[in-house]
Each structure stands twice: as structure tokens, then as C-alpha cells.
Structure 1
Amino acid sequence: MELRQLQYFVKVARKQHMTQAAEELHVAQSAVSRQIRQLEEELGVQLFVQKGRNLQLTSAGRLFLSRAEDILNDLDRAVIEIQEFLDPEAGEIRVGFPHSVSMSILPSFISCFRQDHPNVKFRLRQGTYTSLIRDVMDGVIDLAIVSPCPESHEHVKGEVMLTEELFAVLPPSHPLAESVSIRLEQLREEPFVLFGEQYSLRPIVMNACQQAGFVPKIEFEGDETDTIRGLVAAGMGVSLLPELALRYSTLIEPAVVKIMDPKVTRTVGVIRRKGEKLPLVTDIFRQFLLEFKPSRAD
């Protein structure tokens, strides 16, 4: 069994299409087909079945895929470890971020870290709370910044970086827009603009509204902070957003007001796989994240 066969098999399994896999691998389709056929002959099982224009994994194929991915991930980590052994300052950091962090403080993280580690490369991956945890578990990335930071998880270890406050975000013309602070209950009758159900910020807002004695009337949903800010600024409703998501300017700005009752916060943390040693430069970056305190001017 050759390494190339595993690489070709994993690519075909992910793309579910021989031609598309060959294009991404920059080889002829016949070469991919030949390697997959040889792999099946060596294993003595059929790994794929044709389903329409796509290829579908068999039961044996699904079993073999998880092992093949583990092998390739282990190989990637081994190469990184050797590179770091030769030059700890020339390694690669694989890290994931949610949208609110990548738009606000990610540039500060990387810029400050590279001042002392100029040769380190970053492989960045953006995702939702659930997808980032899954990517860490699967070895696609080594670290992820997530919110809220999981207090206990079977497969990942979370460490809190910071706790941030959520603010009421209102249309500029709203009667409460000039207030120093408000009670969340004062927004009881307002239409809300929230993230979709797959985003971790949504249950935080829903729980806060419940504490204030009401269920928010959700009229619009968005997938990005800019969308929610824009809809609120255009008068489509109100929302709650964390401080990090309000650190940069957009074309049209909503009013931002402090919530005094109940106080709404969320934790932001860094996660990694449990029971697994991080590559040296990645662990240095993890410690940097835990110690880094961005100023409001960043």
C-alpha cells in the first residue's frame, strides 16, 4: 500500500467524484482510477459504488476513510514536528476562528505574534461553533477560538481567554438609542434580528431574554455580524451583539447601548484535542492567545 493511494482515496471520498478529485490533485483521471482500483484489490473490498454521476462510499469504504484520514493527519503532524525540530520558528499553525473574532481581533493576534515569530506560517479556517469543534476533533486544525468556551467536553479541552459583555444594538432613530444603559425588558415588544440556530450566540440571547421575562419576536436571521448590524441600522429590528463584534466600523452604524439588567456575557476560549501534544510553535501560539489582551483601540 502506497501513500499516494491513501491520498487519492481520501480526495475521491471527499469529492465523491473521480474527475473533480483528479483536477484538485493535478493528475489524470486514469491515474486516480488506477490507484483506487489497486487499493481495492490489495484490500480485497470494494470502496466505492456508482450513484448517478457521483461515487458513494461502501460500508467498508467509510470504515477505511476514517483510518486513512488519521494516517494522513498523523503524517502531516510528523512533518511539522520535523520542520520545527530543524527550525522551531518556521513551523505552521493550523487554527480556526468564528466570524466575529476573525473580523475584529484576528489581525491583532497574528500581527503581534509575528513580531516575535516572523517566519511562522498560518493556515486559517473559519467556521461556526459546531464546525470548529469538529475540525479540532478530526485533526483538520490544531487550535480553534470559540465562544462560549466549553466547560467540559469529551474530546476537546477549552481554556478561557476572556469574558466579554453583550450590548443592545438599536436603530439610530430608536427612542432608547441615546440612553446610557437600558434594561433588556424594555425591548420586549421589539422585533429582533438574530443569528441562525446553528450559531452559539443565539441561545445566549434567547436565555437572556427569558431571564428578562419574555421571548423575543425574531423577524430576521443572519449568518454574519455585518448583516445583523446592517439590518438593525436600517431599522429592521434590534439585537444583542458581543463587544468583539462591535470593535470595527461599517458603512451604516447602529446605536450601541449597555444592558444593565440582566448583564449578558459570553466566554471566548481556545480549544485543542484532549490528551494530545501540540506542535511546539502551535503551543507557543496557544499560550500567546491566553495571555494576549487586545486594547479597545486595536
Structure 2
Amino acid sequence: MELRQLYYFVKVASREHVTRAAEELHVAQSAVSRQIHQLEEELGVKLFVQKGRNLQLTPVGQLFLKRAESIITDLERAIIEIHEFMDPDHGEIRIGFPHSLGTHLIPKVVAMFRKAHPNVRFRFKQGMYPSLIRDVMDGEVDLAFISPLPENQGQLCGQVVLTEKLYAVLPHGHSLAEELSIELSQLKDDPFVLFREGYSLRPIVWDACLEAGFTPNIAFEGEETDTIRGLVAAGMGVTLLPEMAVYHSGPMQPVKVEVRSPEITREIGLIHRSNHKLPLVAKVFHQYLLDYFAERRP
């Protein structure tokens, strides 16, 4: 079976006439008839029956048409994807990231990149630490921001691009809200609002509290940075967040206070599959990100 036969078959099926199909295909009518006949012989079925001056699909022809159209559509899409793969100014970049980066960092770097590459499309996927690793390994995304950088992952490669300091986030009216800096141990009696299990910020906050000499009393758990920040602003507890996660405007805003002891940071890595070549447009974006963070590194 040849691809040309499928093209001819789909065209005849859409026009219900060999002559009109041949005219649109710019080939001889006899060439179209011959290809349809060979296709029917190979399949061992009749795909068309004569109805007046037109051709009508048989039931099995209607079934085959759906598959043939799907094959042609997939092939055409693959050709487009190949061209986009080799073109740094077109195509689609699929990027994954944790929720805490979605408020400020991701919109900022994407907007700056698209000033130079306005025709590039982006597909975003937010997720927790395990799902981001899985998405990269399964090829669901080209690149992913992740914290911490995974160790001993042979199928992944990447590097730390950003180290962020975490701040105490307190409601207005808290006794420490006016301080320039505090020690984390000063919050040992406060209820904490934390991300639930599976989010990378949770163990960072938990371990910092243990280092400060106490186990945090968890009052509420959430999945979104906005939810965590909003609960703190509403007086439901305190938390620790990186600066970019507190970057927000609106009526419900908590207070950000520096923690002088212990020093609390998180590392953000940028990863991709080590055994697969990135599409050219994703490769260009990857280098752009490395340069962007290198220029801003203290």
C-alpha cells in the first residue's frame, strides 16, 4: 500500500467522482482509477459503488476513510513538527514548573523571550516534584524547572540556575510583622500554613524549623501559592516562602520578614532528558534561560 493511494482514495471519497478528484490532484483520471483499483485489490474489498454518475463509499469504505484521514493528518502534522523542530523562530516549547514559579518568574522570562521570538508558542504544565520529573522523562515537556535538582537520574541532566532565599511570611498585626529580621525560633508557637506532602517547599520549611529547634504546628495545608499566601494574610498562621512567591498585588497581602537564622534557601534547577535531542526552538530557549540567570547571579 502506498501513501499516494490513500491521498487519491480520500480525494475521491470527498468529491464522490474520479474525474473531479483527478482534476484537483492534477493527474490523469486513469491514474486515479488505477490506484483506487489497486488499493481495493490489496485490501480485498470494494471501497466504492457506482450511484448514478457519482461514486458512493461502501460501509467498509466509510470505515477505511476514517483511518486513512487520520494517517494523512498525522503525517502532515509530523512534517510540520519536523520543520518546527529545525526552526528556532517557530514551533512550540513545552515547559513544566512548580506552582511557586508561576506567579512571576515564568511569565517574565517567557514574555522577554517572545520579544525576540514572537512566533514561538508555549505549552505550560504545572506540577509537583515527582510529576515534573515524570513529565520530562516521558517526553511530555521539553524543559522543567524543579527544586531540588534530582540526583543520580541517568535519564535526566540539568543544572542549578537560581538560589532563592526564603522569608518569613506573617499576617498584618503579628507581633513580629514590624521587625526587619527575625530568628525562625521566634515562630515556634505559631500555627504554620504549609504546602501539602509532595510539594518541594514543604520539606525545606520543615527541616528549617527542626534546625531552629522546634517541630512546626501545621494548622492548614494547601496546593497553590496564592492559597498559602492568602491564608497567612487572613491571619490563619505563618509560613516561609521564597521572595518571588510573595510577589503579588491585591488586597489580601501578608508581610515579608527576613529570617537571619538559620539561613533558608532553595535551589532551582532546569532539567531535560539526557538521551533526547531538544527541538531547536527549545534548545534556543534553554540557552536563553542559562544566560538570563547567569547575568543575574550574585
Would you say same fold, with TM above 0.5?
yes
**Secondary structure at 2:89's aligned position in 1?**
helix
Alpha-carbon shift at residue 274 of structure 1 (Å)? 1.7
Alpha-carbon shift at residue 295 of structure 1 (Å)? 11
Paired residues of 1:167 and 1:259 also in contact (CA < 8 A):
yes
Report the residue type matching 2:275 in the other structure: G
Alignment of 1:211 onto 2:211: yes
TM-score by length of 1: 0.71
Structure 1 residues 112, 257: CA separation in 2 closer, same or farther (over 3 Å shift)?
A: same
Paired residues of 2:161 and 2:294 also in contact (CA < 8 A):
no
Residues 72-119 of structure 1: CA deviation (Å, up to 9, x unaligned): 9xx98885343343x431121111122111111111111110111111
In 1: Cα distance, 2:262 partner to 2:119 partner: 46
**Secondary structure at 2:102's aligned position in 1?**
helix
In 1: Cα distance, 2:267 partner to 2:113 partner: 22
Structure 1 residues 153, 251: CA separation in 2 closer, same or farther (over 3 Å shift)?
A: farther
Q: Within 5 Å, which residues of 2 pair with 1:62-211?
A: 80-85=81-86, 87-211=87-211
Which residue of the partner structure matches residue 231 of structure 1? 231
Q: What is the root-mean-square deviation in Å for CA atoms of aligned residues?
A: 2.9
Alpha-carbon shift at residue 293 of structure 1 (Å)? 4.2
Report the residue type matching 2:126 in the other structure: Q
Structure 1 residues 168, 266: CA separation in 2 closer, same or farther (over 3 Å shift)?
A: same
Structure 1 residues 286, 295: CA separation in 2 closer, same or farther (over 3 Å shift)?
A: closer
Structure 1 residues 184, 295: CA separation in 2 closer, same or farther (over 3 Å shift)?
A: farther
Paired residues of 2:90 and 2:119 also in contact (CA < 8 A):
yes
Alpha-carbon shift at residue 208 of structure 1 (Å)? 0.5
Which residue of the partner structure matches residue 27 of structure 1? none
Alpha-carbon shift at residue 152 of structure 1 (Å)? 3.5
Q: Within 5 Å, which residues of 2 pair with 1:203-282?
A: 203-282=203-282
In 2: Cα distance, 1:263 partner to 1:138 partner: 36
Moved more, 76-85 or 117-126: 76-85
Paired residues of 2:195 and 2:222 also in contact (CA < 8 A):
yes
Q: Within 5 Å, which residues of 2 pair with 1:11-90?
A: 80-85=81-86, 87-90=87-90
In 2: Cα distance, 1:100 partner to 1:182 partner: 23
Structure 1 residues 176, 295: CA separation in 2 closer, same or farther (over 3 Å shift)?
A: farther
In 2: Cα distance, 1:117 partner to 1:76 partner: 22
In 2: Cα distance, 1:246 partner to 1:282 partner: 29
Paired residues of 1:137 and 1:156 also in contact (CA < 8 A):
yes
Alpha-carbon shift at residue 247 of structure 1 (Å)? 1.8
In 2: Cα distance, 1:129 partner to 1:161 partner: 17
Structure 1 residues 78, 287: CA separation in 2 closer, same or farther (over 3 Å shift)?
A: farther
In 1: Cα distance, 2:100 partner to 2:152 partner: 23
**Secondary structure at 1:168's aligned position in 2?**
strand
Alpha-carbon shift at residue 179 of structure 1 (Å)? 0.4
Paired residues of 2:192 and 2:216 also in contact (CA < 8 A):
yes
In 1: Cα distance, 2:282 partner to 2:256 partner: 36
Which residue of the partner structure matches residue 59 of structure 1? none
In 2: Cα distance, 1:104 partner to 1:294 partner: 18
**Secondary structure at 1:228's aligned position in 2?**
helix
In 2: Cα distance, 1:195 partner to 1:134 partner: 20
Paired residues of 2:88 and 2:284 also in contact (CA < 8 A):
no
Structure 1 residues 295, 219: CA separation in 2 closer, same or farther (over 3 Å shift)?
A: farther
% same residue: 53
**Secondary structure at 2:111's aligned position in 1?**
helix
Alpha-carbon shift at residue 146 of structure 1 (Å)? 1.4
**Secondary structure at 2:207's aligned position in 1?**
helix
Bigger Rg, structure 1 or 2: 2
Paired residues of 2:135 and 2:141 also in contact (CA < 8 A):
yes
Paired residues of 1:191 and 1:237 also in contact (CA < 8 A):
yes
Which residue of the partner structure matches residue 48 of structure 2? none
Structure 1 residues 289, 173: CA separation in 2 closer, same or farther (over 3 Å shift)?
A: same
